[in-house]
Copies of this chain bind each other. A is one copy, B any other.
Amino acid sequence: MPEQWNNERLSGQIAFLTEIDKLKNVLRKTFILDSSRLENTAEHSWHASVIAMLLIEHANEPGLDLNRIVRMLLLHDIVEIDAGDTFAYDTQGYEDKAEREQAAANRLFGMLPADQRDEWMVLWREFEDGETRESQYAAAIDRLHPVINNYYTGGYSWLKHGIVRSQVVKRLSIVSSVSDTLWQFTLEILQRAVDQGLLLDDPVKGE
């Protein structure tokens, strides 16, 4: 039973905000840019939110709701507190990812007052379902961030896991549907990564 405060709504909210502190201990597969250590998911959530603000002008669709985008990005990964970080190219991990994350969302958002729980769950589901323009833009940024990260840390995570260019292109394909400019940039940074030996190129067919 979490600590109770005089204001009942606030008791649930304080319990939630202290619980999500644990996101600072969930480690991702990418390094921070000085390569000194792995990045954690709280840091990634901050960085992705800033990047979303920064690059919104490049969205093909004008008038996206930045407030909803940023709120989605701030919250989208808190389920990793229970479900852990699933590596983007881990096929096996993805098999039960949705189930594990839904259970985590139920527990974590369940700490909030009921109306806020419902509202935040809707926001989290919007990101997961990826059917709105805002959630697609948010997902594009969420996937672009580790690519930039990998490029500037010597391709560590790509090389370690034997990732080839076409896998990254496929994972980043959401970028092509939200921004021509960012898609050109994505292809450009992957080409430079391949040229510099930071990312394996695809095997030539028939060889």
Contact = CB atoms under 8 A, between A and B. Distances in A.
A207 to B, nearest CB: 31
A100 to B, nearest CB: 21
Interface in A1-33: 5-7, 9-10, 13-14, 16-18, 20-25, 32-33
B21 A46 contact: no
A17 B70 contact: no
Top 4 A-B pairs, shortest CB-CB distance: A46-B46, A67-B67, A21-B33, A42-B43
Interface stretch (A51-59, A91-99, A128-136, A155-163): A51-59
A106 interface: no
A54 B21 CA distance: 14
Copies of this chain present:
2
Interface residues of A, number: 50
A185 B14 CA distance: 10
A148 interface: yes
A104 to B, nearest CB: 16
B25 A46 contact: no
28 contacts: A5-B185, A5-B188, A6-B184, A9-B57, A10-B55, A10-B58, A10-B185, A13-B54, A13-B55, A14-B148, A14-B185, A17-B50, A17-B54, A17-B148, A20-B47, A20-B50, A21-B47, A22-B34, A24-B43, A25-B34, A25-B36, A42-B43, A45-B46, A49-B49, A50-B74, A54-B112, A57-B116, A67-B67
